[in-house]
Homo-oligomer: A and B are copies of this chain.
Amino acid sequence: MHTFKSLLLGVSLLAGVATSSAADKLSKADLAAANTLRERALADQTAWQVVESLTTEVGARPAGSAADKAAIAWALRQMEHLGLTNVRAAEVMVPHWIRGEAECAVLAPYVQNVPVLSLGGSVGTAPEGIEAETVMVKDIAALAALPPGAVKDKIVFFSNRMQRTQDGSGYGLAVPMRTMGPSAAGALGARAVVIRSISTSSDRFPHTGAIRYQADVARIPGFAISNPDADALERQFASGKAVRLRLRSTSRDMPPEPSANVIGELPGTDKSNEIVVLGAHLDSWDPGVGAIDDGAGVAIMLGAAKLIHELDAKPRRTIRVVLFANEEFGTSGSRTYTAAAQAESTRHVLGFEADFGAGPVWRLSSRVNPAQLPVVDQIHRELAPLKVARGGNEANSGADLDGLAQLGMPLLSPDLDGTLYFDVHHTANDTLAKVDPAALRQAVAAYAISVWLGAQYPGEWENVAAAKPPRR
């Protein structure tokens, strides 16, 4: 039987169409429970209450801060309250960076004060700040194409504008000027970098986000200004006169701090040693209160788990919610968890991540062995009343499950609509006002159904070829 099935699988792969045995089909009882989940999710307030509570009672919770520790205590309470078991905090060390204050002013040709944020992990300036002529380039390629010495002792302004997309792909294309720009400019002798925020908003919110300094280049400070201020700075350059900026930042690093991944489970029955993992992250950037990034993801996962817990039936596989520490500042929570998972006797057979806002879900994508595509189709049919399209089999996880995905863990991805996400992401404007309760309920419904049916799949979730790591 096994041989025969493998043979069939081989044929179906050649033909580009997967197959599965009738025994792999989801049962009527499991599909009926999925229907119950959808109905209940669309009327359930749990996810809203979770994100409201997290943003009101904890608020901004950057890695290493006192609020980061408060968030761990909050998450343990929430998981116990919602009926999860094996609730625990697994320690993770995280960086502790202090934002301090930042200032940006245009000194010439036209004096203007500009709202600014230091980029995450940036070194500060000397107390008197930096004043220098400023060179505008579109991106790192344009910087590299300048004549030698062109930015020596100067400030570099990266002007490239992120494009708005539903799947968030505009972010990956634009973000290298933030992550790599400071070291690219530092290597050429520049004194500081200012970027146009990796943002799709026309509102005056600079964004933040991590720099990845190269180890072999002296660190220079990095700053971001909002789109309207970047437009205004471009108009200053358009005058044809020399542009001078003054920058000041008191950002600084502190010693690493303990934090934790917070974990809770709905134990499985006959396949309890197989883990269906639900990942979101508990930390946030500090300018906002982390409602869409990633309070909403925490809420979606806890809301979905609570609804599955309230079903009459128990899941066959163990459903494990992991609220990761420190997604924003180097993903040490994810790396710690991935290492521990490899040492566990249980096996991570399927992953879900929610780290792209508060919904709605617009598409169900996957990264599964093609033999399992029929069950993904079957799951998708249960999402159709939620107006969810069928995506391809090239899904990536978010940053937190990327380590497990690289090891071959299959992914189901109820794709959250990212059209408006980068209007708010990593800015002071990431507040509860940006969460639409109806969209959030729809997202909980889509996740709850997909997680439940993924846990009930009578067949085996087989490992996949390692995913290409997403850019972020």
A393 at interface by CB-CB < 8 Å = no
The interface residues of chain B lying within 8 Å CB-to-CB of A228 are: 431-433
Take A56-B232, A56-B236, A232-B289 as given contacts and tell me if A429 and B203 are in contact as well, using a CB distance cutoff of 8 Å.
yes
Q: A428 and B56 in contact (CB under 8 A), knowing A204-B288, A289-B232, A433-B227?
A: no
Q: How far is A60 from B204 in the complex, measured between Cα atoms in Å?
A: 14
Query: Are A235 and B204 touching (Cβ within 8 A)?
Result: no
Is A112 interfacial (CB 8 A cutoff)? yes
Contacts of A431 in B (CB 8 A): 204, 228-229, 232
A59 at the A/B interface (Cβ < 8 Å)? yes
A45 at the interface (CB under 8 A from B): no
Flag whether A400 is at the interface (Cβ < 8 A). Answer: no
Closest Cβ–Cβ distance, residue A112 to chain B (whole Å): 5
A202 touches B434 (CB 8 A): yes
User: Which of B59, B111, B229, B433 sits near A111, CB closer than 8 Å?
Assistant: B59
Cα of A395 to Cα of B202 in the assembled complex, Å: 33
Specify which of B58, B229, B232 is in contact with A110 (CB 8 Å cutoff): B58
Q: Counting CB contacts under 8 A, is A57 at the interface?
A: yes
Residues of B within 8 A of A235 (CB): 52, 56
Question: Which residue on B lies nearest to A236, using beta carbons?
Answer: B56
Residues in B whose Cβ lies below 8 Å from that of A289: 112, 232
* Contact A433 B59, beta carbon cutoff 8 Å: no
Hey, which chain B residues are within 8 Å of A434, CB to CB? 202
The contact string, 1 if C-beta is below 8 Å from chain B, for chain A 366-385, is 00000000000000000000
The answer to whether B59 and A110 have CB atoms under 8 Å apart is: yes
A433 vs B233: C-alpha distance when bound (angstroms) = 13
How does the 8 Å CB contact mask read for A273-290 relative to B, with 1 for contact and 0 for none? 000000000000000110
The verdict on A232 contacting B55 (CB below 8 Å), with A60-B113, A203-B203 known, is: yes
Q: Does A133 contact B (CB under 8 A)?
A: no
Rank and list the top 4 A-B pairs by shortest CB-CB distance, nearest first. Answer: A228-B433, A228-B431, A202-B433, A59-B112
In the assembled complex, which residues on chain B have CB atoms less than 8 Å from the CB atom of A111? 59, 67
Whole-angstrom distance between the Cβ of A440 and the nearest chain B Cβ: 16
Interface flags for A28-66 (1: CB within 8 Å of B; 0: not) read: 000000000000000000000000100111111000000
Contact B112 A204 (CB under 8 A): no
**A231 CB–B CB distance under 8 Å:** yes
Within the assembled complex, what's the spacing in Å between the Cα atoms of A393 and B432?
43
User: Taking the complex as formed, is A115 at the interface, i.e. its CB lies under 8 A from any CB of chain B?
Assistant: yes
A48 and B80 alpha carbons, distance in the complex (Å): 58
Q: Kindly list chain B residues whose C-beta atoms are within 8 Å of the C-beta of A115.
A: 428
Complex CA–CA separation, A203 to B370 (angstroms): 44
Bound Cα distance A231, B428 (Å): 15
A115 vs B59: C-alpha distance when bound (angstroms): 13
Q: List 23 A-B contacts (CB under 8 A).
A: A55-B232, A56-B110, A56-B232, A56-B235, A57-B110, A59-B111, A59-B113, A60-B112, A115-B428, A202-B433, A202-B434, A204-B205, A204-B288, A204-B428, A204-B431, A204-B433, A228-B431, A228-B432, A228-B433, A229-B431, A231-B432, A231-B433, A232-B432
